[in-house]
Amino acid sequence: MNATGDIVLQSHRHLKWRALDLVERIMMALCGICLLGFTTSVFFDVMTREIGHPWLWLQEVTSTFFIYGIFIGAGVASRRADHLYLTAMTELMTGRLRFTVEVFNRLVILTVALCMIYFGYINFLNGFGNFRMPSMTPLASYYAAIPLSGIMIALFMIEQLVNGWRNGFEGDQAEDSTPRQMT
């Protein structure tokens, strides 16, 4: 977060809709919850095994936190331009070449997101016929993360494409040279 409490860097603001800032905040919080849940469940899994009374269902909990953390994180990272495309290369470019490469990168990510939605939904539906032991939870509960992540990534790529076409992709690069602070 910057000094004004805005979650988006000013150099990226021209590519973002303020209406989606809350969605990004919620997704970041969910990522934190998944990381905490994953870490805690691994700790208790190891501890209960060491004392000779393993909780087998903890492995399912760990898997769920891990899977959802990854796919929620992919959505957040795509909005923050921290993942999935070659930012370092494009930041060195200017003008028409940069515009073309930025559009190409985002179109590739959008295509992958659409595949995640389509094929992830097929996996989700097929997952109702397969179950995780010992709880007999349908694997669909894991697979649901894939199309949901695809929807968020697609939304964020459309946001960036529309705003990039309107405002250009080059922002104020001065802010990008300062390290990001984690809060």
Other CB atoms within a 10 A radius of the CB of residue 92 amount to 8
The residue-averaged pLDDT of 155-182 equals 69
Q: Does residue 16 fall inside a structural domain?
A: yes
**Residue 91 neighbours by CB under 8 Å, 6+ apart:** 173, 176
Predicted pLDDT at 176: 45
What pLDDT does 70 receive? 95
pLDDT-wise least confident of 1-10, 69-78, 99-108, 109-118? 1-10
| Per-residue model confidence (pLDDT) at position 88 | 67
Domain assignment present for 29 = yes
Residue 88 lies in a domain: yes
Q: Which pLDDT score, from 0 to 100, does residue 78 have?
A: 87
Q: Choose between 66 and 134: higher pLDDT.
A: 66
15 located within any domain = yes
More confident site: 6 or 77: 77
Q: How many domains does the chain have?
A: 1
- The pLDDT of residue 10: 61
Average pLDDT over residues 72-100: 77
The percentage of residues in the chain with a pLDDT greater than 70, rounded to a whole number, is 81
Question: What's the CA gap between 75 and 78, in Å, rounded?
Answer: 5
pLDDT at 177: 45
**pLDDT above 60 for 5:** no
Give the C-alpha separation, 80 to 93, whole Å.
19
SS3 132: strand
Give the range of the structural domain holding residue 157, as residue numbers without chain letter.
Answer: 10-169
Q: Token pair 């905040």 is at which residue?
A: 25
pLDDT, greater one: 125 or 89: 125
The answer as to whether 112 is a domain residue is yes
Is 176 contained in some domain?
Answer: no
